[in-house]
Amino acid sequence: MYRSHTNGALRLADVNEEVTLSGWVQKVRNKGFMIWVDLRDRYGITQLILDEERTDAAVFETAKSLGREFVIQVKGTVIERVSKNPKMETGDIEILVSELTILNASKTPPFTIEDDTDGGEELRMQYRYLDIRRNPVKNNLIFRAKVTQAVRNYLSSDGFIEVETPYLIKSTPEGARDFVVPSRMNEGQFYALPQSPQTFKQLLMVGGMDKYFQIVKCFRDEDLRADRQPEFTQIDCEMAFIEQEDILNVFEGMTRHLLKEINGVEVGDFPRMQYDDAMRIYGNDKPDIRFDMKFGELNEVAQHKDFGVFNNAELVVGIAVPGGNSYSRKEIDKLINWVKRPQVGALGMVYSRCNDDGSFKSSVDKFYDQDDLAKWAEVTGAKSGDLICILSGDKNKVRAQLSALRMELAERLGLRDPKVFAPLWVVDFPLLELDEETGHYHAMHHPFTSPKPGQMELLDTNPGEVKANAYDLVLNGNEIGGGSIRIHDKQMQATMLKHLGFSDEDAKAQFGFLMDAFEYGAPPHGGLAFGLDRLVAILGGQETIRDFIAFPKNNSGRDVMIDAPAPIDDKQLTELSLMLNLKS
Amino acid sequence: MYRSHTNGALRLADVNEEVTLSGWVQKVRNKGFMIWVDLRDRYGITQLILDEERTDAAVFETAKSLGREFVIQVKGTVIERVSKNPKMETGDIEILVSELTILNASKTPPFTIEDDTDGGEELRMQYRYLDIRRNPVKNNLIFRAKVTQAVRNYLSSDGFIEVETPYLIKSTPEGARDFVVPSRMNEGQFYALPQSPQTFKQLLMVGGMDKYFQIVKCFRDEDLRADRQPEFTQIDCEMAFIEQEDILNVFEGMTRHLLKEINGVEVGDFPRMQYDDAMRIYGNDKPDIRFDMKFGELNEVAQHKDFGVFNNAELVVGIAVPGGNSYSRKEIDKLINWVKRPQVGALGMVYSRCNDDGSFKSSVDKFYDQDDLAKWAEVTGAKSGDLICILSGDKNKVRAQLSALRMELAERLGLRDPKVFAPLWVVDFPLLELDEETGHYHAMHHPFTSPKPGQMELLDTNPGEVKANAYDLVLNGNEIGGGSIRIHDKQMQATMLKHLGFSDEDAKAQFGFLMDAFEYGAPPHGGLAFGLDRLVAILGGQETIRDFIAFPKNNSGRDVMIDAPAPIDDKQLTELSLMLNLKS
């Protein structure tokens, strides 16, 4: 061992003790006759002191040569500091150094190893091993480990068995793109990396494991949007002989436990909201309910005048911005420009100021009178001093636009407090989703999700209306988990796959093993998966998952530190029975 | 919830309680007027009873239709059994059924769901979800989860942080073959799946994480020998500011903890043995020390007569088989044939019987007298009643052959008791290993292993003699873990790679990021990795890792249940800028 103590350990009670410390040189202050060194490791910082009087001359000389991030080992005596530093845990003491060994020198790091570093994102990613030395990154990784271990202990105590499912599986064309892995031993054939262990966990239920979980890497070869990673981690769970209510209870318990154990926050019963209500009230299936600004649908009270924009709209909908009447005309114009950005896509925004005297002043006073505007205030719940923002158009689009505006305003108003936690179950998701490009329906959750009882018949007549036993757990406006009760009947699964456009042949080739399994006594079952990266980030009071991943990839799916992916040898390609077929 | 209790829960104290149970039909006994059903789930079996008198006629009819592995739900009353079954935990009670629902029917399973099934390996793998319903497999998976959780809790309590390292990394030609993953977004480029997180854990040490662990899947595209899997699980660990002694202590502590917590076995300090001694005494770098039969080297006492076979041999070496004098001539001939099998490869075997009267009778009495044979007995530690088995030839080969014989004899003599645990550290491994085919040296552990201090110089003159700070943990004749102190100096790493045949260019391309990292204050560090599959199997008293993996692959790397790997669409190939280049 290169140390008797870590750099976070020593206190006044240790004064006069002879100790050996090791770590990185955080800072050197050289006053000529006296040198202080801040010595850092994972556990903290301890101050070292060397002076011409008390320190051996050779040791003093060595200390003069130290640079930032040198790795050193020192022996010395713990002494009480003359000027204590109450901000440091070890701030009452320092080490009077008697021996000093440089274990490894360091070049000057490309950015400062400080909480607020001068390094940009790209540089920090290239030298991620240096970035990890910084407290914010280091603490995030330790926090992640703590959350993960808490999840494992909670589920294990509750009778869940962690089972490892395979990573080299079979490619299925459903859902996102698979990453594939050519097989050398099976010429011309490929494994796929799992997008989730979905079918395997269902087979474990057929196999009688009863309660399964796994914290597991999953893979999706998608064009990466901001803050998506090609590999990500799921808390994957499945239970047999349960109904939706049981799943919600178990994982509400787990989430409440995490909030208590990790964040020290007590949360009561999680509210539940139907998907249709979430869309109607918040324009979003993952509403942030830490704040209000509920949608008010204004068709009835806004489509009776000559204002064509509203009259031709499928939906006219507004929100009351608390205190928004204080916005200047210029600020409101900025808001209007904000909703007109291509990322949001609104054509314009109508507003109505709610004055302190109870009167209203709107951007459409030409068409609407005070009575109309009073009704708008009533429907949106606006009070004196608020600003009502109204969008109109195609229902789905306008809801998404107003939801974006609601989140943006909440951010500006400081209503998204990362220390407040507002979980919410969104339930009764639609089974199918219309792909507007192809005109085909595809599974909103996945093809194994069970429709609600008695709704199977609607599949033929009105597929978009079929509701599923599917649910999401939403935390502070983020989907942190989602799941469903599964189909466990072969015939129903076959019908479902047919509706999703699979030929009998494809269905058999892709999912034959699962449907076969359903013929040998499959129990009713269902489950849920949490996105661990996102969950950890939100519990950590942040929203960027990359900050909670040790070695993340960039938006092109590259690891810029190790420079991967990279070309491989022709010999390797030949062994895999492959040739490159480059487009460019 | 489809049940009020599991099938392992009910006892006499629950008599008269109304319960709801669900599970699989294990067995139906139909006596005409009375039907018993054994209802099974993960937790146990509960007996159900229905009779014409007390049971509703419709329910009774339904019960008649039940077949093996049907999934049912019943309601009923807990009653005391007339004839109790003390072998069953629920054997004091049964359930008088009032309602019965068939939740899912089952075809007759292709093999019996019993502890001793009639299903062969291949059939069981194809229907692995049914195999998992069997107690031996189910219990192995639960056992694995328990061991894994114990490891995590132990290491977490000891300040280790579990950090997830990436799965999509960079291919390196060193070591076994990588599985590669074509990148769609980076045309013509490939990720590799990690053979281990080796470089990442070293970078975490450079990053100051200090104590790291991870239970993680690793991948090797090797031609599969028996009981190897293309994907396997490691307990991967690394520590900074430590020396070899510290690593051995930490992981000896962990292993001792597992033996105590999982197996209830207390083990003292683990013996340590130098690699050279292990090879000399047991002919093997992972000796099973649950039993003796140490090698006795006989060159001095066997090469002084006219027996050319011995005289021309590099090594003459024997073991004393306890009680082996009782073997008939025929049995000994069988042993001789056993060592001559191609898998062992000996040319023959000399033996000497140790008679009860102190005399000897050998197969080479023509050449050796009683005094010679007495010396052989002395060197091999043979006592009256033993049989000395002697092989000769090339040192490395003959050691391997005699080691195989030693293990085979121990097996036959019942000396390999799976309930006895004999851990052992083997230390001071050679740094390099000569590849006899190519004549090149390659790293015995891996290219990041540090030579012992002062031995770097030998690299040029006698590379095979250089010893490394490398160690294996051996348990009952199996390597369950191995590791080393790593190089943390850029120059030494560069020298090492040069000796392993890397050009400067290749070294930079493959490991440049690691060597760069060594320039920014890399601390001394080292670590170890356990093979979880093997560890779990041995703790579970078995040697076949496949029995402890939920969904293993066969010897061709195929998952016969899901039928993977499989061909992929041309469209997928084109997207990946690839073409097939089949050899056949």
Phi, psi of A291 (to 5 degrees): -140, 170
Set of chain B residues whose Cβ sits within 8 Å of the Cβ of A241? 1-3, 22-23, 41
Tokens, residue B341: 């099998």
Which residue of B2, B40, B129 is the best one to mutate when testing the A interface, meaning the one whose CB has the most A CBs within 10 A?
B129
Indicate yes or no: CB of A171 within 8 angstroms of CB of B566. yes
Edge-to-edge strand order for the sheet containing B296-297?
Answer: B296-297, B315-321, B387-393, B350-354, B360-362
pLDDT of residue A456: 81
A377 with A484, same domain?
no
Residue B428 Ramachandran class (φ > 0 left, ψ -120 to 50 alpha, else beta): left
Percent with pLDDT over 70 in chain A: 99
Residue recorded with tokens 């042949």: A505
Using omega within 30 degrees of 0 as the cis cutoff, is the peptide bond preceding B453 cis?
no
Give the span between the Cα atoms of B309 and B346, in whole angstroms: 12
A399 with A301, same domain?
yes
Residues near B550 by beta carbon (within 8 Å), at least 6 away in sequence = A163, A164, A165, A166, A200, A204, B128, B132, B141
Give the span between the Cα atoms of A485 and A452, in whole angstroms: 9
Q: Is the pLDDT of residue A469 over 90?
A: yes
A83 with A38, same domain?
yes
B247 with B267, same domain?
yes
Q: Is the pLDDT of residue A173 over 70?
A: no
Which residue of A191, A229, A244, A577 is the best one to mutate when testing the B interface, meaning the one whose CB has the most B CBs within 10 A?
A191
Set of chain B residues whose Cβ sits within 8 Å of the Cβ of A133? 207-208
A457 with A510, same domain?
yes
Q: Got the DSSP string for B98-114? A: EEEEEEE-BPPPSS--S
Tens digit of pLDDT for each residue in A307-342?
Answer: 999 999 999 999 999 999 999 999 999 999 999 999
Indicate yes or no: CB of B132 within 8 angstroms of CB of A576. no
Give the span between the Cα atoms of B240 and A401, in whole angstroms: 52
Q: Which of 550-569 (B) contact A at CB < 8 A?
A: 550-551, 553, 556-559, 561-569
The CATH code of the domain that includes A196 is: 3.30.930.10
Residue B482 belongs to a domain? yes
Q: How far is B488 from chain A (nearest CA, A)?
A: 8
Tens digit of pLDDT for each residue in A531-558?
Answer: 999 999 999 999 899 999 999 999 899 9
Residue A277 belongs to a domain? no
Give the span between the Cα atoms of B332 and B338, in whole angstroms: 10
Indicate yes or no: CB of A551 within 8 angstroms of CB of B582. no
Residues of chain B with pLDDT under 50: none
Residue B121 belongs to a domain? no
> One-letter amino acid identity for B216?
V
The CATH code of the domain that includes A45 is: 2.40.50.140
**Contact by Cβ (8 Å): A407, A287:** no
A442 with A534, same domain?
yes
Indicate yes or no: CB of B186 within 8 angstroms of CB of A1. no
pLDDT of residue B172: 76
Set of chain B residues whose Cβ sits within 8 Å of the Cβ of A23? 241
ipTM: 0.95
Residue B563 belongs to a domain? no
A464 with A387, same domain?
no
Computed from CA positions of residues A195, A196, A198, A199, in that sequence, does the dihedral angle turn out positive or negative? positive
Residue A563 belongs to a domain? no
Range of the domain at B145: 139-272+423-548
Residue B127 belongs to a domain? no
Indicate yes or no: CB of A188 within 8 angstroms of CB of B573. no
CB contact burial B266-295 (16+ within 10 A = b; e otherwise): ebeebeebebeebbbbbbbbbbbbbbebbb
End of a domain among A412, A432, A461? A412
Set of chain A residues whose Cβ sits within 8 Å of the Cβ of B178? 572
Nearest CB to A569; choose among B1, B173, B242: B173
Residue B88 belongs to a domain? yes
Nearest CB to A580; choose among B156, B204, B577: B577
Whether B201 has its CB under 8 Å from any CB of chain A: the answer is no
CB-count exposure of residue B96 (10 Å: 0-12, 13-18, 19+): middle
> One-letter amino acid identity for B339?
V
Say how far residue B383 (Cα) sits from the centre of its chain: 35
Whether A150 has its CB under 8 Å from any CB of chain B: the answer is no
**Contact by Cβ (8 Å): A132, B209:** yes
pLDDT of residue B300: 97
The CATH code of the domain that includes A369 is: 3.30.1360.30
Say how far residue A344 (Cα) sits from the centre of its chain: 22
Total domains in the fold of chain A: 3
pLDDT of residue B445: 87
Q: Is the pLDDT of residue A174 over 90?
A: no
Tens digit of pLDDT for each residue in A130-149?
Answer: 999 999 999 999 999 999 99
pLDDT band at A223 (very low <50, low <70, confident <90, very high): confident
Give the span between the Cα atoms of A441 and A24, in whole angstroms: 58
Indicate yes or no: CB of A550 within 8 angstroms of CB of B105. no
Nearest CB to A133; choose among B131, B207, B561: B207
pLDDT of residue A583: 80
B254 with B309, same domain?
no
A263 with A345, same domain?
no
Counting one residue from A and one from B, how many pairs have CB atoms under 8 Å apart?
377
Indicate yes or no: CB of B522 within 8 angstroms of CB of A181. no
Set of chain A residues whose Cβ sits within 8 Å of the Cβ of B114? none
Q: Is the pLDDT of residue A224 over 80?
A: no
Percent with pLDDT over 70 in chain B: 99
Phi, psi of B344 (to 5 degrees): -100, -55
> One-letter amino acid identity for A162?
E
End of a domain among A361, A378, A412? A412
Indicate yes or no: CB of A1 within 8 angstroms of CB of B246. yes
Using omega within 30 degrees of 0 as the cis cutoff, is the peptide bond preceding B109 cis?
no
B245 with B307, same domain?
no
A304 with A408, same domain?
yes
Report the chain B residue with the minimal C-alpha distance to residue A44: B208
End of a domain among A358, A378, A412? A412
- Over residues A51-63, the mean pLDDT reads 95
Indicate yes or no: CB of B521 within 8 angstroms of CB of A156. no
CB-count exposure of residue B216 (10 Å: 0-12, 13-18, 19+): buried
B406 with B427, same domain?
no
Model confidence pTM above 0.90: yes
Residues near A201 by beta carbon (within 8 Å), at least 6 away in sequence = A165, A212, A214, A236, A237, A238, A527
Report the chain B residue with the minimal C-alpha distance to residue A133: B207
Q: Mean pLDDT, chain A, as a whole number? A: 95
Residue A467 belongs to a domain? yes
